[in-house]
Homo-oligomer: A and B are copies of this chain.
Amino acid sequence: MKIFQTHDKIKINNLLLIGAGLIGGSLTLALKQAHVSRHIIGVGRTPSVMDEALKLGIVDAAVSVDSPEFIDAVKTADVIVLAMPVGQTCTVCTQIAPHLQPDTIITDVGSTKASVYRDAHAALGDKVRQFVLAHPIAGREVNGPQAALADLYVNKKVMICPHETNHTDDVTTIAAMWQATGAQVYELSLTAHDEIFAAVSHLPHVLAYALMNHVADSDLSNDKFAMAGAGFRDFTRIAAASPEMWRDVCLNNKEAILRELDLYLAHTQQLRDDIAAERDADILAQFTKASEMRLAWGREQ
């Protein structure tokens, strides 16, 4: 893992944003505020969402997929940002491919990287060299363009996962774009990315969704929700995240997530058996280890 040096400010004349939700919207708001982008065109599936994005200044214009304006926007884009759920990568890249110019850089914001590379490669062929994979580590418990914030990425981490056919200049441009939002940019391999985020992001999301549904399906569920406190609130905050995005993450980083889930479930089952057998020293040792690590981790953040 390598941290990118801070680059000089870049200028992006024409940016095409595909998907104008929390993550993409926060990016363009930040780029506008930093005077990095000149003109931003947005594309999205839902007209009302795009109207909202236009009203909020996330995009300067909105076009429909496959319209002549969309083709023009692809042709004239300096940077195309894919900010829709990762499951749509192949479809979107297939729409872009025939009109993609050799100097345009494509990038994304997806939580899985090997699958985005695979799908982009399938749709773009050799032009995948123009695709710089990226992933900002930031989110909120609300979704959509109205959730976007110009300062969402300030002091947040962004992973860039260059692959072997990427041009260094393109990678540098995307790193500089993210640095302009206030983020710290790291370089990481696709495989390490997917393994790391399966553990510290994808797994906790699955566990938080499962806890909400477990409580909802259990006895006294209304009283449980009514009495839940700050611990429950923080633990389940990520369960409010976009269901479609996270369904796609689970399907597109399946192997790594299953590996983490199986190890986690075995770990928790062992702790369950320790509690059942009242192995108090083992329980205390486990809790102490976790608590000390969490306190140390908190101090480093």
Contact = CB atoms under 8 A, between A and B. Distances in A.
Interface centre among A192, A201, A287, A293 (most CB of B within 10 A): A287
A240 B289 contact: no
Contacts of A186: 227
A125 to B, nearest CB: 26
A67 B51 CA distance: 74
Nearest to A200: B228
A291 interface: yes
A13 interface: no
Interface residues of A, number: 94
A230 to B, nearest CB: 7
A211 B207 contact: yes
A215 B199 contact: yes
Contacts of A265: 265, 268-269, 272
Interface stretch (A15-23, A41-49, A136-144, A172-180): A136-144
A201 B226 contact: no
Interface centre among A205, A258, A293 (most CB of B within 10 A): A293
A35 interface: no
Contacts of A268: 206-207, 210, 214, 261, 265
A233 B258 CA distance: 22
Interface string A225-247: 11111111111111111111011
A231 B214 contact: no
Given A142-B295, A216-B290, 8 more contacts: A137-B230, A201-B228, A216-B289, A216-B293, A235-B237, A243-B290, A257-B275, A265-B265
